[in-house]
């Protein structure tokens, strides 16, 4: 099975995305065929967009990823899928790693406060740690986007070369 046929099977259908309550506000832009095509460039770009926005600790990451994909005319479904790298199970460890990376990057001491689920604790902690968190999130976002983009391009190339080799072998066997 080719990467393209696999992706076509797992990505959401076009009409589901066009009818989504937050995304339907993009109107005619959602009818641009370029955001639906599975090419090496658009797929790698869609993955990169999704991974970048996944690392940002903001609400409505999906909407930002979709808007970026639409504006840059890259694969919309893949950008939406890869935003969900951060989900309720992975967000905590990812953002903690981002905070630690940002603290190292900005040369700020890492605060090891015990977690208390309260608005007061969250606002006090965020007031002291938002800069290292954002720096780390930007670093992780750019890094994961670059890795995702390169990975998809390399996989695409490997699968293309494998397909060409199979085609060459079948022609050779027929003669």
CB neighbourhood size of 4 (10 A): 15
pLDDT at 144: 97
pLDDT at position 53: 97
Query: What pLDDT is attached to residue 116?
Result: 60
Dump pLDDT digits (tens) for 101-145.
999 999 888 877 665 656 776 677 777 788 988 999 999 999 999
> What's the pLDDT band for 7 if we cut at 50, 70, 90?
low
Quick: pLDDT tens for 42-96. Answer: 999 999 999 999 999 998 999 999 999 999 999 999 999 999 999 989 988 898 8
For the chain, domain boundaries: 3-174
- Residues 52 and 132: their CA atoms lie apart, in Å, by 17
| Sign of CA pseudo-dihedral 98, 145, 77, 9 | negative
Q: Return the structure tokens found at 128.
A: 């002291």
CA distance 159 to 1: 10
Rounded CA gap, 40 and 80, in Å?
17
Q: Which two tokens stand for residue 93?
A: 């460890």
Token readout for 145 is 């986007």
Question: What distance in Å separates the CA atoms of residue 148 and residue 37, rounded to the nearest whole number?
Answer: 18
pLDDT score recorded for residue 146: 97
Read off the tokens for 144. Answer: 């994961």
This prediction's pTM = 0.78
Q: How sure is the predictor about 175, in pLDDT bands with cuts at 50, 70 and 90?
A: low
């Amino acid at each position: 099975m080719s990467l393209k046929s696999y992706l076509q099977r797992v990505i959401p259908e076009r009409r589901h995305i066009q009818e989504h309550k937050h995304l339907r506000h993009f109107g005619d832009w959602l009818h641009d065929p370029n955001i639906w095509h599975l090419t090496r460039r658009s797929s790698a770009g869609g993955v990169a967009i999704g991974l970048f926005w996944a690392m940002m600790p903001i609400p409505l990451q999906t909407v930002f990823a979709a808007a970026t994909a639409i504006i840059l005319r890259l694969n919309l479904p893949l950008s939406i899928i890869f935003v969900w790298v951060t989900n309720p199970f992975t967000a905590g460890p990812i953002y903690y790693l981002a905070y630690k990376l940002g603290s190292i990057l900005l040369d700020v001491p890492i605060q090891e406060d015990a977690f208390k689920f309260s608005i007061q604790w969250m606002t006090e902690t965020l007031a002291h740690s938002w800069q290292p968190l954002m720096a780390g999130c930007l670093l992780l976002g750019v890094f994961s986007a670059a890795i995702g983009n390169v990975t998809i391009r390399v996989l695409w190339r490997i699968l293309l070369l494998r397909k060409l080799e199979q085609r060459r072998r079948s022609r050779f066997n027929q003669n």
